[in-house]
Amino acid sequence: MNRDLSRYARQITFKPFGEEGQRRLADSSAIIVGVGGLGSWVAELLVRAGVGRLRLVDDDYVELTNIHRQSLFTEKDANQRTLKINAAANHLREINSNCEIETVFARIDRLTADRLTEGVDVIIDGTDNFPARFILNDCAIKKSKPWIFAGVLGTEAQVMAIIPDKTPCLRCLLDSPPACNGQTCRQAGVLGPAVAMVAAVEASEALKILSGNSDKAGQCLLVLDVWNNVAKQIDVSKLTKNADCPCCVHKNFEFLEP
């Protein structure tokens, strides 16, 4: 890999990150599960920042209705019904040829999660549903890997880094996947800037972890509403783990069970 770090000069100048953080980032790897609204933005930000290896997992293709909120994709991608992993990989390689991009045509489920998350340093949520996130949570806690949860609907978004043995896990906060009541981006709509904002926070948390600054990650659950200009930080460091959490306390990974 080309170790010329001059392209990252402005990033390295930020002293808490520095050259050591940049080198650590270049030696790191991440998986992004879902390369849609959240995943495409996070992928672009991490590749521009200089992550060493990125695994993209998705089984969908680009549609014209994606483009308003999903970076990396073009009208040409939509017209050709290009797979999202392929379109994203092509554009990402043009942004930073030093980053190794791996594409996997798959959907995360209890059968694929263990294999797909093997050999990476952090798991990043680009999914659009809570059942998938509970699978990721089980998998991350089982493997003791940090993962970053995020979701957005309409103009409301939430994001939180979950670090095993340091922060509460998703099941500490939610015992089971909440009922969606039919509310998805297709029904409720979604504003592009809300997606970009929460994805930027996801990428920032990932950069902290991958650059060796994980002590700065996972300090809060951030809740945003970009339409009403509301931002709330819920200090998870003051939230004790659910003492009866079936996942991070009892190590019962039921969302990975057949």
Residues of the chain with pLDDT under 70: 1-2, 179-188, 237-240
Strand pairing class (156-162; 29-33): unpaired
For the chain, the maximum distance between any two Cα atoms, rounded to a whole number of angstroms, is 51
Q: What span, in angstroms and rounded, lies between the C-alpha atoms of 222 and 242?
A: 19
pLDDT tens digits along 205-248: 999 999 999 999 988 999 999 999 999 999 876 666 777 899 99
Evaluate whether residue 6 is within a structural domain.
Answer: no
- What's the rounded Cα separation, in Å, for the pair 124 and 108? 12
Total of domains in the chain = 1
Listed residue (84, 184, 83) closest to 131, CA to CA:
184
In which element (H, E) is residue 161 found?
strand 156-162
132, part of any domain: yes
- C-alpha span between 137 and 139 (Å, rounded): 5
| Other Cβ atoms within 10 Å of 24 Cβ, number | 18
Closest CA relative to residue 158, chosen from 131, 120, 197: 197
State the burial class of residue 162 (Cβ atoms within 10 Å of its Cβ: 0-12, 13-18, 19+).
Answer: buried
Angle at 225 between CA 223 and CA 231, to 5 degrees: 50
Domain contains 5 = no
Angle at 217 between CA 215 and CA 219, to 5 degrees: 100
Whether residue 124 lies inside any domain: the answer is: yes
What pLDDT score was predicted for residue 179? 66
Residue 182 CB neighbour total at 10 angstroms: 8
- Whether 159 is covered by a domain: the verdict is yes
Is 2 a domain residue? no
Task: Please tell me the distance from the alpha carbon of residue 184 to that of residue 21, in angstroms, as a whole number.
Answer: 37
Residue 95 lies in a domain: yes
CATH number at residue 140: 3.40.50.720
Whole-number pLDDT of residue 209 = 98
Phi, psi of 4 (to 5 degrees): -70, 115
What is the spatial distance between Cα 100 and Cα 112, in angstroms, rounded to a whole number?
A: 22
pLDDT at 60: 97
- 53-58 and 29-33 beta bridge pairing: parallel
Specify the pLDDT at position 33.
Answer: 98
Unique residue bearing structure tokens 């992993």: 85
User: How far, in Å, CA of 241 to CA of 239, rounded?
Assistant: 6
* Cα distance between residue 207 and residue 214, in whole Å: 9
State the pLDDT at residue 218: 85
Domain contains 1 = no
- Contact status, residue 77 vs residue 62, Cβ threshold 8 Å: yes
Distance from the first to the final alpha carbon of the chain: 40
The pLDDT, as a whole number, for residue 149 is: 97
**In this predicted structure, what is the pLDDT of residue 106?**
97
Tokens of 222: 């951030």
Structural domain boundaries enclosing 159:
11-256
DSSP assignment of 196-216, as one string? HHHHHHHHHHHHHHHTT-GGG
